[in-house]
Every structure is written in C-alpha cells, then in structure tokens.
Structure 1
Amino acid sequence: MSILFLFLMLFVLLVMGVPVAVALGLSSLTFILFNGMPSLVVLHNMINGINSFPLIAIPFFILAGHLMNTGGITTKIFNFARASVGWAHGGLGHVNIGASVIFAGMSGAAVADAGGLGNIEIKAMRDAGYDTDFSVGITAASSTIGPIIPPSLPLVIYGVIADTSIGQLFAAGLIPGVMMAIALMIMVAWKARLNNYPRDERFSVKHFFESLLDATLPLMTPIIIVGGIITGVFTPTEAAIAAVAYSAFLGLVVYRTLTWRGILRVSMDTIETTAAILMIVASSAIFGWILTANQVAGQFADVLLGFTDNKIVILLLITLMVLIIGCFMETIASITILVPVLLPVAVTIGLDPVHFGIILILNLMLGLLTPPVGMVLYVLSKVSSVPFERCVIATAPFLVPLVTVLLLMTFVPFFTMWLPTLIYR
C-alpha cells in the first residue's frame, strides 16, 4: 500500500465528514495492516504521541479561558478596551481588536476568542449602528490574533512535535501579534472613514482610569502567564496551571461571579475539548510515524529542492500549500501532519524552526476564516445568527491585512526572531 493511497484515503474520509481523529487513525491503521505490520504499532504510537509534559498545558489554558468567560472577566476586558480606543473613528472596531489582543494573552485559542468575546462585541457594534457584515468580519479577523500572541495552544503543539523551545515560540509570537492588530486597525480606520462609522464615545481620563482599575486584576493574567514564561519563572505548563488558579481566585473570591456548579460545568467542557484535541494528536502521531518511517519528508524535500533552489520561491510554495490545507483541515491536525514533512525543508533552506513555527501557525489561522472548515466562521455564525455564507463574504476584506502581515513575517525574520534572540540566545 503506497503513501499516495494513504493520503487519498485520508482525503476521502474527510470529504465524507468523518471526524479528523477517526480519519487519521483509520487511514493509518489500514496502511499498517496492509503492509503486514503488527497492529500494536498503532497503540504504541498513539500513547507516545500524547505522552508529553508540555501537552499538559493544553487543558489548563482551555480551562482558564472558560473560567474567564463564565466569570464575566471578558466583559471587564471589553469595557477597558472601549475606554482606551473607543474614541477613534470606527471606535468599536478598534475596541474589538484591542479586546482580542488582551484576551489573546489569556486563552491562546481563536475559537475561544470568537466564542468568548464575539457575542459581546457584535451586540455592542449592532447597537451602535455598525452594519452586521463589518461587525462579524472584524470579530472573525481579530480572533486569529489569539494563537499568535502567547500563550498559544497551536504553538504548544508545534513545539512538542518539532522539539522546539515553547518559550522561544511564545516570545517570537509577540511582535507578529501586535503587527496583526495594527494592520487590522489600519483597515478599520479606512473602512470607518469610507462608511462614516461613528466614534463610540469621547475619551475621558476619568472613565479610562475607572475602567483600568476595574480591569486591573484580569489584566494581570497575561502578565503572569507571558511574563512568567519569558523570565523563566514558569514553564508553559506551570504558567497554565497558575492561570487557572488565578482565574478561579478572581471568579470565586474577588468578583464572586463563579459558583462551584459553574466550575464543574466548565471543567466538563474542558475535558470534552481536551479529549478531542488529544485524540487528534494521538491519531496524528501514527500518521506522522508512517510518514517518517517511509522517509516522506526527505522525498518531499528532494522534489521541492529539485524543482527550485530559490528560497523565496520555496517559501511561497510552502505558504500556498499550508493555506490550501488549512482551508480543509482543522488546525491541530494540520500541524501534526505538516510539521514532519515541511520542517526538514524549512531547515534545509536556512529557516529557524522558531521562525517557521510562527509562519505555519499564522498560515493556519487564515484557514479558520476560509471555507469549507472555517471554525471561527461557524462559531460566529451561531453567535450572531448570520448565515455561514454571509460570514465568509464579510470576513474576506480583512484577509488583506492579515496576508500582508503573513508575508512580512515570512520574508523578514527580524520581526519573529528579535525577541527570542534577545531573551534566550
């Protein structure tokens, strides 16, 4: 049974609507049995795939995000962002982006951002007279900042698979995340003047400091997480645990917006989400093992480098490939399949694994905004009661600034590598 048939079977299963974890596992198991290998190989690789200490960070980051949503902390973040940048033309569009940047330092997931802040942001923009398409589009686009600014669940997965420092990956994501926010704000300012969108409210020093005081404790969460990791006080896993403890403390003791029943409910949601992610990682581990054992990465590198030795052309080809795959496959599955194949090529042409990680994740984030998968679009369609097809059209213009940042990240390594080099090297 050839590798080509393995990919073909995986593609057919995904098109049929089979869950990603099942499709990966079933196609891998079929390949193993047809080639006369013992089926025990499947279990062995699945266990090894998730037997990693850094992966423990995943459920804790997810739980921290759920606790903040349930405890009303996202509302305080939104109000602070509103007091900070709501005075500009298209103010609530800027607020939308600012709130996503702050929430990115807590949840690390685009879908969590869209689900947690999306309802608040879209309702506020509708009430202020913004058209629905603009509200949905900027909410979708700004949510992709979450997995770039640390902490980031996709970067944790990438770090484990690529055997790369998660701390360096987190540091590398800070500047690109800020650049994404600036690019989106420029787009918002242009559309606001074009469509004469209103300012949200006049800037008030008193109101700013009142909202800052109200949001001070929630704003400490990203400082604890990111600062602890970068300074070496925490490992990413320990930082995730600290984030959960701090979020629970705010909800139970300080604001008293959380109940033990509420904690039990979000814990069950966390278990469900974590189980789905780890099943994908485990199934992908088998798939990745098959690719490695059959030297697919080396063969792919030979084909690509045989086609051209121009670094820019190779980077563009890799970017195009990842963008296409990201349109059809869930982020975690894409990372686990693509890294063993593409990372050796990236290293061969002189790309640092940390730099490549940021390029890969930002590429895949764009896939969350494009059909047919487009998980962020599905979430916002449900939250805003806007048809999925309309969400796709509304989000399309905001892909322009995001793709521009992607190209800058790809061809100007300084933006991603300056902080990791400064702190760790």
Structure 2
Amino acid sequence: MTLTIVLLFLLGLLIGVPVAASLGLSAGLVILFYDLPVTILAQRAVNTLDSTPLLAVPLFILAASLLGATGVTTHLFDLMRMLVGRVRGGMAHVNVLVSLIFSGMSGAALADIGALGGIQIRQMEQQGYGRRFAAGITIAAATIGPIFPPSIPLIIFATAAEVSTIRALLAGVLPALLIAAALMLQIALMARRQNLPRDDVRPSLSAIQRKAWISLPAMLAPVLLVGGMMSGIFGPTEAAGVMVAYAVLIGVLVYRSLSMRSFIGCTRETVLATANVLFVVAAASLFAWVLTMDRVPARAGAWLLEVSDNPLVLLLILNLLLLVVGMFLEAIVAILIIAPIVTPALLQAGVPPEQLGVVFVLNLMLGLLTPPVGMSLYMVSIITRMPLSSVIRGVAPFYLSLFAALALVTLVPALSTWLPNLVMN
C-alpha cells in the first residue's frame, strides 16, 4: 500500500499535477484499489480542517496583508536605514533587521520576500551593492519569518505532530534571533573584505525621532503578539484575531491609509492564500492516513530506535532527511507527511517537541533556498529578472550562517526549550 501511494504521488508530480491534487488523488486511488471505506475521503479531510489552531492560519495571513497595505514596511525600512545605514554594509544589516521585525507580522518566508524583496533589492542596488549580493541577503533574511512567531509552518507542525501550538511558536523566538545575529555577523565580515558601501542617508536626531514615532505602531505588533502569548492573555488563535484587529486599527486611525477597497483586496488575497494552504493540509491528511493504516509510522519509529536511541543521532538523521526532502517538496506538504511518521520515535528518545518543531521548519526553510524547488529563489528571480543561476550564486555564501544556526539549534536544545519552559512554568 505504501509503495503504491508513493509511486502514484511521484507519478503525479512528474506529469505536472499540482502537489495538493497529487496527494489527494494518490490517496483516493489507493483507498479505492484496496477496498478501504470511501467515506474516509470526506471524513478525514473535514476532521483535519476542523481545528482551532488551524484557524490562526487565515487570520495571520490577513493580518500580514492588512499591515502591508498600510505601508508600514516603508516606514520600518526608512527607520532602520537611519539607525544603521551609515555602517559599512549597512543596507544589508537593514535588510536583516526589517525582515526580523516584519516576520513578527507575516510568519511566512514568501510573504516577506513579496512584501519587502523588491524594495530592499532596489534600495541596495541604488547604494552600490551588486544585484547578486542584494538578492542573496534578501533570500537568506526571509528564512527568519517562518521561525519567529507567528510562524505558519510551526502552527502546521504542532497540528500534525499533536503538540502544544503555543510552545511551538515560543520555541522559535531565540532561534530566529540567532539566525539574524549570524547573518549580521557574516555581513560585517564580508563588509570588511569586499569594501561594501555605506548608506548615503544623513538623518538628524529629530528626523530619527519622528520616523521612530511613525514606525512605533508597526514595531509594537510583534511585541503585542509575543507578549500576549508569553503572559497567557491569549493563545495562538486568539493572538491571530488580535493581530487582525490591531492591523485594522492602526491602518484606519494611525496611518489612515487602509481604505475599504484595499481592505476588500486584502481579504480576497487571504481567501486565495488560505485555500491553497488548507487544500494542501486536507489532501496531505488523506495521504498520511493511508500511511498510518499501513503502519508506516510504527515501522519507521521502530527502525529509528533500532538505529539509535540517542536524541542527537536521531536529530542528525532527521536533518539529512529533511534537507533532501526540502529540495523537492513544499514545506507544509513535507511537514504534514513526515511529522506524524517520525515524531513519536523522536519524542520517545527524549527529543523535546519544541526543538523538533524548530529543526523541522528550519530545515525545510533551507529547502526554499535550494534547487530544484526553491520557491524563494524563483520569486526573487522573477522580482529582479535575474537568471536563476545568478540568484543561487548570490545566496550561496549565506548558507554558512544558516547551516551554523541549524547546527546550534540541533546541538543545543535549550535554544528552543528555554523560553517555552520559562513562560509555561
């Protein structure tokens, strides 16, 4: 049964069937062929989507779209330029800092690139940076988004692995800051060797204060989100609703740039994006159910524990698996298929679920930076009209920082578990 469904899925991908449709069709055909109850198709899909944590996904997508429509990204970019632009390589530092702040609003790498990528790359080119370098740091910095809360991939992981959503989200805070610090350290070293330019902005103190005041509502968004969850005022789903209300509030009352037309446009974008995500979730749940019926999780868990019961060894095996899978499968699909299979064995071996979630997502985000299915590479290639090969060469030096961060997250569980334990205890 397992071999049949995998072959059908791969056949679908080879002939160009969309991933979600290939997952659902392969599961449906196996259910029919092996005379399993057909009613499971509707029952399993509906039960999977009938999930309170998953309700946070469309709300966070809507909140990010609304905040983007208010123009907060421009204010944030200008403020960061004023603060660190005069440092050699300053625009690259600005790129990382803005991605870190905006990640507290969007929770998705492609959303960060879509909202910020064009602005950041154009600004860096105007300051004398090479297009390849500008594209590379933009792609690398976008990996912060899916790690820092609100992280849509971490919400999906918590749902698939049946672990605490709020602990999974809080686990991403320190690793995201670690990635930002590693990238900025590498930029500082490259700035010396490559004589990277300084920004030509020369703001006065009063100009910085004015821009900081204008940007304050936007910068408070991630503080409100993380602070609310850390204090226990609300959980992830409630936090998503609060973010939507906050985005509407500052868009209408503070920035006065959110019109009814733009609001309707944001909701339309949200419906389309949510439909894409949840269609994948529903189809992958059918695929995972067939694997479960064939006892794949139990057999895979037994095999992993036979190889080793050392948590570090199992995490290293998982890293290798996810790095390869991330080169071919979209992150959410990979999470929904692999997490239910390997999570029980790794938890039994003593791997903290929070660390496991961050390792999962960070590996798969690296897949967005690697061909042949590196969506971040393709998106930046489209935005900049650069050949894909040039985009890959631009991001290649930053693999060093990203893989160093992955190694630390794998070797040091406290990076993922310290904050959730502090808050929840």
1:116 equivalent in structure 2: 115
1:342 equivalent in structure 2: 342
Q: Report which stretch shifted further, 8-17 or 73-82.
A: 8-17
> Percentage identity across aligned positions?
41
> Given the alignment of the two structures, is residue 148 of structure 1 paired with residue 156 of structure 2, yes or no?
no
TM-score of the two chains, using structure 2 as the length reference: 0.97
Q: Report which stretch shifted further, 208-217 or 40-49.
A: 208-217
Aligned partners of 1:311 and 1:152: how far apart in 2? 25
Secondary structure of 1:144's match?
A: helix
1:231: how far off? 1.1
1:176 equivalent in structure 2: 175
Deviations 1:181-218 (A, max 9, x none): 01001111122111111121468544432321110111
Deviations 1:297-348 (A, max 9, x none): 1111222333344443322111010011111111111110011111012112
Aligned partners of 1:16 and 1:331: how far apart in 2? 21
2:31 equivalent in structure 1: 32
> Given the alignment of the two structures, is residue 17 of structure 1 paired with residue 16 of structure 2, yes or no?
yes
Amino acid at match of 1:295: R
Secondary structure of 2:172's match?
A: helix
1:401: how far off? 0.6
1:16: how far off? 2.5
Deviations 1:60-80 (A, max 9, x none): 111111112222111111112
Aligned partners of 1:8 and 1:192: how far apart in 2? 48
Asked if structure 1 preserves the Cα contact closer than 8 Å seen for 2:168 and 2:353, the reply is no
Amino acid at match of 1:328: F
Amino acid at match of 1:160: T
Asked if structure 2 preserves the Cα contact closer than 8 Å seen for 1:280 and 1:333, the reply is yes
> Given the alignment of the two structures, is residue 224 of structure 1 paired with residue 224 of structure 2, yes or no?
yes
1:264: how far off? 0.9
1:191 equivalent in structure 2: 190
Q: Report which stretch shifted further, 63-72 or 319-328.
A: 63-72
Asked if structure 2 preserves the Cα contact closer than 8 Å seen for 1:377 and 1:388, the reply is yes
1:271 equivalent in structure 2: 271
TM-score of the two chains, using structure 1 as the length reference: 0.97
Asked if structure 1 preserves the Cα contact closer than 8 Å seen for 2:312 and 2:410, the reply is no
Asked if structure 2 preserves the Cα contact closer than 8 Å seen for 1:110 and 1:143, the reply is yes
Aligned partners of 2:411 and 2:159: how far apart in 1? 25
Asked if structure 2 preserves the Cα contact closer than 8 Å seen for 1:63 and 1:270, the reply is yes
For residues 390-409 of structure 1, the aligned pairs below 5 Å read 390-409=390-409
Deviations 1:384-411 (A, max 9, x none): 2212222122111111110111011011
1:368 equivalent in structure 2: 368
Aligned partners of 2:400 and 2:296: how far apart in 1? 34
> Given the alignment of the two structures, is residue 288 of structure 1 paired with residue 288 of structure 2, yes or no?
yes
Aligned partners of 2:205 and 2:192: how far apart in 1? 25
Q: Report which stretch shifted further, 304-313 or 277-286.
A: 304-313
Q: Report which stretch shifted further, 130-139 or 156-165.
A: 156-165
Amino acid at match of 2:93: H
1:56 equivalent in structure 2: 55
Asked if structure 1 preserves the Cα contact closer than 8 Å seen for 2:171 and 2:419, the reply is yes
Aligned partners of 2:24 and 2:215: how far apart in 1? 45
Amino acid at match of 1:4: L
1:129: how far off? 0.5
Asked if structure 2 preserves the Cα contact closer than 8 Å seen for 1:86 and 1:203, the reply is no
Aligned partners of 2:354 and 2:311: how far apart in 1? 17
Asked if structure 2 preserves the Cα contact closer than 8 Å seen for 1:87 and 1:203, the reply is no
> Given the alignment of the two structures, is residue 237 of structure 1 paired with residue 244 of structure 2, yes or no?
no
2:162 equivalent in structure 1: 163
2:131 equivalent in structure 1: 132
Equivalent residue pairs, number: 424
1:96 equivalent in structure 2: 95
Q: Report which stretch shifted further, 19-28 or 226-235.
A: 226-235
Q: Report which stretch shifted further, 331-340 or 373-382.
A: 373-382
1:106 equivalent in structure 2: 105
Asked if structure 1 preserves the Cα contact closer than 8 Å seen for 2:102 and 2:145, the reply is yes
Deviations 1:55-104 (A, max 9, x none): 11111111111112222111111112222222221000000000000001
1:73 equivalent in structure 2: 72
Deviations 1:101-128 (A, max 9, x none): 0001111111110110111100100000
Aligned partners of 2:118 and 2:96: how far apart in 1? 14
Amino acid at match of 1:327: M
For residues 347-362 of structure 1, the aligned pairs below 5 Å read 347-362=347-362
Asked if structure 1 preserves the Cα contact closer than 8 Å seen for 2:150 and 2:169, the reply is yes
Secondary structure of 2:327's match?
A: helix
The runs of 5 or more residues in structure 2 that have no matched partner are: none
Over aligned residue pairs, what C-alpha RMSD do you find?
A: 1.4
1:274: how far off? 0.2
Asked if structure 2 preserves the Cα contact closer than 8 Å seen for 1:82 and 1:92, the reply is yes
Deviations 1:19-62 (A, max 9, x none): 11101101101111111112111111011111101111111111
Aligned partners of 2:167 and 2:304: how far apart in 1? 28
For residues 405-420 of structure 1, the aligned pairs below 5 Å read 405-420=405-420
The runs of 5 or more residues in structure 1 that have no matched partner are: none
Asked if structure 1 preserves the Cα contact closer than 8 Å seen for 2:144 and 2:176, the reply is yes
Aligned partners of 2:187 and 2:326: how far apart in 1? 25
Q: Report which stretch shifted further, 381-390 or 33-42.
A: 381-390
1:5 equivalent in structure 2: 4
Aligned partners of 2:397 and 2:178: how far apart in 1? 17
Asked if structure 2 preserves the Cα contact closer than 8 Å seen for 1:68 and 1:251, the reply is yes
Asked if structure 1 preserves the Cα contact closer than 8 Å seen for 2:311 and 2:351, the reply is no
Aligned partners of 1:104 and 1:94: how far apart in 2? 15
2:316 equivalent in structure 1: 316
2:327 equivalent in structure 1: 327
Asked if structure 1 preserves the Cα contact closer than 8 Å seen for 2:153 and 2:331, the reply is yes
Aligned partners of 1:15 and 1:372: how far apart in 2? 13
Amino acid at match of 1:137: G
Secondary structure of 2:87's match?
A: coil
